[in-house]
Structure 1
Amino acid sequence: MPIEIKVLNRRSSGEAPAGNYKARYLNEKGLGIMQASNPCRSAQIIEGVHSGQVVPYDSYVIVGELPPQAEVLRQNTKIIEALAEAGRQIKEHARKIGGLQEENEKLRNPEYAVDYAPLINAYKGRIWQLETEIKSERTGKKVELPREVASALEWLKGAGYSPAGIFVHQQRPEEAEDCHEELRVIKKYVDWVVKDRSHADTLLLSLINGYTVTPEPEKDASSELRSEITGIIKKWMGTSPPSDGKSDSERLTDQIFEHFQQHGDDNLPF
């Protein structure tokens, strides 16, 4: 194992001046396997102009152990390979940069731009066609949502909630920063189980493909009128007939007229 020694400025150090040297231990005759335990081993310089000179143990101190020569060669080889790879990469990058510069010069050429104009327009047309098809596909997959759920979604989107944020925060509205009431509306809708299926999948589809609002049922005027008349008759049947000398039909007619007059309509709608 090579060592690094510092030669001291002593007469016994020989010709080597004071300084650091690469050296090795010398084995003493007669010690045999006890060489390693000898505290007074001389050293021999193995590199430089003073290579081969022996330095007595009292003329040097050990600075440190040096790596074996094989390890040094391995590290040097690794560094050389890394430098070579870096050189190859630099060369490849330079080639790419040169190619990009050539393409850039071509794009600045009006003739080149004119030649590619039809292709560019064709790509733009294809992109527009694909966007239209995607929009049409998504429109065809829209789902219906109740009006209050759709209103809550619009409010949440306006407040900056993303589709993923809406779906996550509706599970625990109280943990959201704001819009707790709107998130509760969404949660109530999702938790409403119909035929063993929740509305979670419907909510997901609405966030992905969009939605329409479930139309409210139109009011039936005749049904409302029938309900009002039924209420009048029930009220008439539940009151005791006064002693005014009128017949049942006359008293019922009076109550019908009185009802519609109280609602601001002097003319019966039939």
Structure 2
Amino acid sequence: MKQSEIDEIKNHCKYSPIGFYTPMSVLRVINHFEQKLTETNHSLTTGRDEKILLQEKLNQLIAGNKASLPPEVAQAIERLKAAGFSNYGIIACSDQTSVLGRDYSSEVIADLMSIKKFPLTDLLIKGLVNGYTVVETPQERIKRGVQAIYEKWTTIPTSGDDQKDGEDLAERITKFVSSELKL
């Protein structure tokens, strides 16, 4: 125990004339340290909450800076990185595909050509630096949505009428597809 803690206890305790601490002085010390413990706990909780909040904000900023790339460009980037290309190498070599044919496989050249055809170089660089998400094609979105509808539909109790149940499923799918295609 530190000397400052001992002095603090002495300040809160009343020493009786016969050399013992009185019960009231001990109770005051206990109350004082319970209050200090509560303040410390509150401070730690507040610090933890602030850390969680800051992490969430950081994650939102990172997610907000990601580029949305088409599937063929994202796949080309992944294959090129797996082949050992750095971000710089992807950009630099995609502009030199005609002279790289001797040094790289046809798959690597095809991936570099996919990158070269992508017209938005700034978006590509942003994707390489900050990360990217893959833009789903309308077909992929519809397939995923219909699958989700079907999975949910199979958990709903049936009416016992196959015709009616089939119409219910068809209605749900039609409504979803119409909203996706903006019909």
Q: TM-score, normalised by structure 1?
A: 0.29
Greater percentage in strand: 1
Larger radius of gyration: 1
Q: TM-score, normalised by structure 2?
A: 0.41
Greater percentage in helix: 2
